[in-house]
Chain A
Amino acid sequence: MTTLTVGRASVPAKYLPVLVTGCLFVAMFVAGGIRYEGFASGQVILNVFIDNAFLLVVAVGMTFVILTGGIDLSVGSVVALSTMIAASLMEGPGWPPYLVVPLVLAIGSGLGLVMGYIVHAFDIQPFIVTLAGMFLARGLCYTIGTDSIPIQDPTFTAFAQTRIDLFGDLWISPSVVIAVVVVLVAVYVLHYTRFGRSVYATGGSEQSALLMGLPVGRTKITVYTVSGFCSALGGVLLSFYMLSGYGLHAVGMELDAIAAVVIGGTLLTGGSGFLLGTVLGVLVLGLIQTIISFEGTLSSWWTKIFIGMLLFVFILLQRLFSARSRR
């Protein structure tokens, strides 16, 4: 294995993209701290977590799929569908949250399962199957209702508004705790279980994995189910954050999730990447948003151009550093 020597310590080449992303993230944070007053505080980082807890969960699911060499475009609309189902069931028939949340999670996983089965059993490209899934979930949202439905369930809103105080003045929301738990479980599953190994093997070379006797079909179906579950959970977290269900929630979130995964150094061809990278990717996207909000006076189109530019600079630097040290 090629290694890179940094001072005295040597880093295996496979950790390099994650490392570069991490360093760039820190550099970006320091640059923000120098430029804007009040930027360099712990709460800014925690706010990035609070505002992006749902994206983090969704991106975790996406990482599983991309590691097998697939892609899941349906996540954004499954998130929207979850908020919609949760809101309509709690507001209309007045179902309690402890019934609604498991139901939403089951529906999300079910959708993922079906898509995974179609991808595997009929050999159709994941991009298209999940694109159809995206249309389906978004269409189901509009079938439920075209307006935004507010969530007023007392238990649900109480949980959503809870603040967990850490030391000092720092605080986080329960969603962050859920997201962190999801990340930890996912890291464990990917690196310490048989299923995790199969995910990497399937993405590395599907045929070799098959010839080795690994359950490729089951793995592929499972990763889409995991992604469906994560999207549904992300939807629940988003409904904590927004306290409403709406068919236009999370439009384009699939691209954010894919961008986060790729920024984190995972290859879209599969088989190579780390979950920690995905976490960093989400943080980078969140930090870009924070910088925009600190910048303040940008009009909506300059915001988009600025996001694109920051994304470009980031990816360029990441690419340059990884390419140079690989030589």
Chain B
Amino acid sequence: MKRLLWPAVVLALLLVLNVFFTPSFFSIEVKDGHLYGSLIDILRFGAPLILVSLGMTLVIATGGIDLSVGSVVAISGALACLQISEDASVFTAVALALGLCLVLGAWNGFLVAGIGIQPIIATLILMVAGRGLAQLITDGQIITVNSPAYKVIGGGYWLTVPFGILIVIGVLAISAFLTRRLALGMLIESVGSNAEASRLAGIRARGIIIMVYAFAALCAGVAGLMISSNVSSADGNNAGLWIELDAILAVVIGGTSLAGGRFSLSGTVLGALIIQTLTTTIYSIGVPPETTLLFKALVVTAVCLIQSPSFRAKVFRGRGRAKPSSAAPEQKVKVTA
């Protein structure tokens, strides 16, 4: 896959950069029957972002966008922790939280497909109200729970592998199977490139759109469970704050166009890993906290520039030989719409 080449190169570069600062960066060892190592940490802490980005990928593939995932992350963590603190079983708590997330996602999908509101506004409603809902559930407090079973979701291990990573692999496998082995992926892409035309072609565009929003919310819900279980508490105010931006960034770095119509799940995973590696790198090479965002901005810009074919054309041609005078940007006519 040529599309994945540049994200993979960037990820490799970032990883190699880390080795200069922490020589033991690539070492993975087994302690007490658990896998340990920086790479495992990147996967483990990146798991929620990967999940949210997977859901976001399908939404973006239909030409939409989901700003509400951050709030859904907070809501799912809050509801699960509230249930557990009221002595419900972990299974009930998780099921209730994920059920609520499905409802919220279907609501988003209904606003977009049923009423026809522009996705960015339709999900903005839940982004604003959902943050309030999460605080309402936690009553504005931080709910702390003490449940070993719940702790497993975000902080536990199974067969030496962190449980979060297994969840991600599971969700990734299911969504890859559904979208790439069945016709679903093609239907999603066709709705994304032209919803009206695919409706006329006999595709139930509305159902598909509602489904992808519900899926995105479900992924966000699982991510919310992971985040809150990892710290054994729910913070309605700050959990998943701005995760929607990171997720969208991951999707786009992975080569999915925001215009919709095509998507790449593996690209998204790479994109999310790049962002998580970047965060880890920032800590490990000791960038002062005030300049973290600056560093992130520079890397994001660099990644996007490297991926842009016209940037590569200009830079590499300019280095090879003298720039032909006809390469003025104004005269460049794009053939693709």
Contact = CB atoms under 8 A, between A and B. Distances in A.
The answer to whether A and B assemble together is: yes
B324 interface: no
A39 to B, nearest CB: 23
Given A138-B293, A139-B294, A315 B126 contact: no
A142 interface: yes
Contacts of A73: 245
B315 to A, nearest CB: 10
A262 B134 CA distance: 26
Given A304-B129, A323-B116, A132 B301 contact: yes
Interface in A250-267: 255, 258-259, 262-263, 267
Contacts of B293: 135-136, 138-139, 142
B300 A305 contact: no
B136 A311 contact: no
B9 interface: no
Contacts of A323: 116
A255 B334 contact: no
A316 B311 contact: no
B297 A136 contact: yes
Contacts of B330: 215, 217-218
B129 A308 contact: yes
A123 B300 contact: no
Interface in B304-328: 304-305, 307-311, 314
A51 B67 CA distance: 26
Contacts of B117: 315-316, 319
Contacts of B111: 312
A124 B255 CA distance: 11
B58 interface: no
Interface string A143-161: 1001000000000000000
Nearest to A142: B290
B187 to A, nearest CB: 22
Interface stretch (A5-13, A54-62, A294-302): A294-302
B197 interface: no
The majority secondary structure among interface residues of chain B is helix
A203 B6 CA distance: 30
Contact of A259 (B115, B121, B129): B121
Interface string A45-89: 000000000000000000000000000010000000000000000
Interface string B113-134: 0011110111011111111111
The majority secondary structure among interface residues of chain A is helix
Nearest to A205: B337
A303 B310 CA distance: 47
Contacts of A131: 245, 248-249, 300
Contacts of A303: 132
B132 A301 contact: yes
B304 A305 contact: no
B129 A305 contact: yes
B286 interface: no
Interface string A209-248: 0110001011000000000000000000000000000000
Contacts of B337: 207
Contacts of A316: 115, 117
Nearest to B304: A124
- Give the most central of B118, B122, B298, B307: most A CB within 10 Å: B118
Contact of B125 (A128, A129, A136, A311): A311
B200 interface: no
Contacts of A143: 290-291, 294
B292 interface: yes
Contacts of B175: none
B135 interface: yes
A135 B291 contact: no
Contacts of B248: 127, 131
Contact of B258 (A123, A127, A259, A315): A127
B133 A255 contact: no
B180 interface: no
A307 interface: yes
Contacts of B155: none
A132 B289 CA distance: 17
Contacts of A139: 290-297
A299 B297 CA distance: 36
A133 B293 CA distance: 10
A90 to B, nearest CB: 21
A197 interface: no
A146 B295 CA distance: 16
A268 B120 contact: yes
B294 A120 contact: no
Contact of A135 (B236, B296, B314, B334): B296
Closest 8 CB pairs of A and B: A308-B129, A304-B132, A139-B293, A139-B294, A301-B135, A136-B297, A135-B297, A305-B132
29 contacts: A118-B301, A118-B305, A121-B311, A121-B314, A123-B308, A123-B310, A124-B307, A125-B252, A125-B257, A129-B301, A129-B304, A135-B296, A135-B297, A135-B300, A136-B298, A139-B296, A207-B334, A210-B334, A258-B120, A263-B121, A299-B140, A300-B132, A300-B135, A301-B134, A303-B132, A304-B129, A308-B125, A308-B126, A308-B128
Interface of A: 73, 118, 120-125, 127-129, 131-133, 135-136, 138-140, 142-143, 146, 206-207, 210-211, 215, 217-218, 255, 258-259, 262-263, 267-268, 299-309, 311-312, 315-316, 319, 323
